Amino acid sequence: MKAKGSLFAVFFILFFSTQFIYANNKKDSPNAYVLNGFYHLKGFINNKYAITMDITVSQGQITGTMYYDKVGEYIDLKGYQNGLTVIIDGQYKGKSYDHFDGIVDNKGIKGTWTNPQTGKSFPFALNFTNENCALVKTYQYYLENTYKGYKAWYSFEGDYPVATPIKNFEDTIIKIALGLPEEGTFEQKIKTTAQKFVEFDKDNPDMLFNINVEIHSSIVYNKNCILVIHIFTDGYYGGAHGINGEECYIFDLLKGSQITYEDVFAVSQRTLLREKIYPKLKNSEQGEGMDETITKDNIPFADTWGFSDTSFFFIYNIYTIGPFAAGPFEADFTLDELRDYLTENFKKRIGLK
C-alpha cells in the first residue's frame, strides 16, 4: 500500500506542477506534505490581518510574493521547507517585516508570524485555495468639462485587479482591458485618461460638440488563476447617435498571458457557430432582429466571449449581425452544455469533471 501511495503522489505532483496543486499526500507516505509547484494561499495573521501568499516550491526552495489584502502591495518571499517545517521571510523595500515559521499539512500552513523590526509575534494560518487568485477592488470616478456651452464628461465605475500571482501583471491587464497607461496608481491612470478625454480641441471648431463616455468594468471570473474581465462602454463621439459595446478579456495568471479560443475550445469556431451559437441565437427572441442574410455557414464569430462560474457567453455588438435598432446579440450556455466542445486541459483547469 505504501508503494502505491508513493507512485500516486509522484504522478500527482508531476501532472499538476504547472497548475494548482495541493499537499494532500497520505500521512503514511514518506513524502507526506512535500510541496512542489505553485500554491495560492489565503488566511490571517492573529485571526485579524488578511493576507494572500503566492509561492512556487522547487526542491524545497520557496520563492514568491505576498500582500496584505487591505493594502495590496507586493512583499517578496524567500524560504525553504525542511520536513514538515516551512520557513518563509518577506522583504519589502529592502527590509524584512514578515517572518513565517510554520508547519504544512493537507489544508495549508500554520504557525507563528514575527515582525523582525519590532519582535512582535502572532499566530498565522493560511489555507490552500483556488479562489480569488487576483486581489480585486472597485473604483468610481467622474470628470466633466464645459467649453462654449458644450459639455464633455468621462465616467468609470467597477472592478480592477490590484495584485496577481505574477508580480505587477495587473498593470498589463489594466492596459489591455481598459487602455490605461502602465505607470502610476490606478487612480492616477483613470484621472490622466479622463483629463485627456474631456479636453476640447479648441483650435478646431468642427470638433466642438457634446461628447461623453461611460465605462463599467466587472470581474466575472476569478478562480483557478484565471481572471475574466467584462467591459461595457457607452458613449457619444459625434454622429447621429451614441454607441455602446462590450468586450471581454481572459487572462492566465500563472503564465502572465491572455487565454485564447484554442486554449479553451477543442473544436473550430465554425463548428461551434454551426452547432451551438447560431441555433441559440436564431431560435431566441433576438433571432427576429438578425440580418436575414446571416446563416449558420456565414455568421461571423462573436465580437467577444467569456465565462463565469456557471456559464459561457458570446456577444455580438451593435451592427455586427443586425441593425442598430436590434441592439446587441448574446448567446449564453451553461458550462455543461459546452462540455464536449472544451479542451481536456481547460476542463481540468476549472474543475469541470
Q: What are the pLDDT digits (tens) for 131-159? A: 999 999 999 999 999 998 999 999 999 99
* Owning domain of residue 30: 2-128
Residues 54 and 158 both lie in one domain: no
Is the same domain home to 282 and 352?
yes
Note whether 118 and 162 are same-domain residues: no
15 and 30 both lie in a single domain? yes
Our count of domains for the chain comes to 3
Q: Classify burial at 108, counting beta carbons within 10 Å of its beta carbon; exposed 0-12, middle 13-18, buried 19 or more.
A: buried
Quick one: pLDDT at residue 97? 92
Q: How many CB atoms lie within 10 A of CB 179?
A: 12
Which residue type does 298 have? Answer: N
Closest CA to 126 of 61, 58, 64, 59: 64
43 shares a domain with 73: yes
On whether both 6 and 100 belong to a single domain, the answer is yes
Whether 315 is covered by a domain: the verdict is yes
Whether the Cβ atoms of residue 126 and residue 51 lie closer than 8 Å to each other: yes
Cell 515582525, residue located: 115
What's this model's pTM, rounded to 2 decimal places? 0.88
Q: Alpha carbon of 5 to those of 14, 31, 36, 332: distances in Å?
A: 14, 10, 17, 43
**Same domain for 113 and 11?**
yes
* Residue 34 CA, distance from chain mean position: 28
Residue 224 belongs to a domain: no
Task: Check whether residue 136 and residue 100 sit in a common domain.
Answer: no
Residue 153, domain CATH: 3.30.565.40
CA neighbor of 72 nearest in space, from 185, 178, 156 = 185
pLDDT value, residue 32: 59
On whether both 7 and 124 belong to a single domain, the answer is yes
Do residues 266 and 305 share a domain? yes
SS3 state at 188: helix
Q: Where are the beta strands (DSSP E) in the chain?
A: 37-45, 49-58, 61-68, 75-82, 85-92, 95-104, 108-114, 121-128, 135-147, 150-163, 211-223, 226-236, 243-252, 257-258, 304-307, 311-316, 329-334
Asked if residue 253 is part of any domain, the answer here is no
Helix or strand or coil: residue 33?
coil
User: 99 and 23 in one domain?
Assistant: yes
Q: Does residue 117 share a domain with residue 181?
A: no
pLDDT along the chain (353 residues), means of 10: 42 40 39 84 98 96 97 96 95 94 96 96 97 97 94 96 96 95 92 93 81 96 98 90 94 97 98 97 92 95 97 97 94 97 97 89
What pLDDT digit, counting tens, does each position of 280-300 carry? Answer: 999 999 888 999 999 999 999
* Cα–Cα distance for residue pair 140/154, rounded to 1 Å: 11
Q: Residue 265 corresponds to which amino acid?
A: F
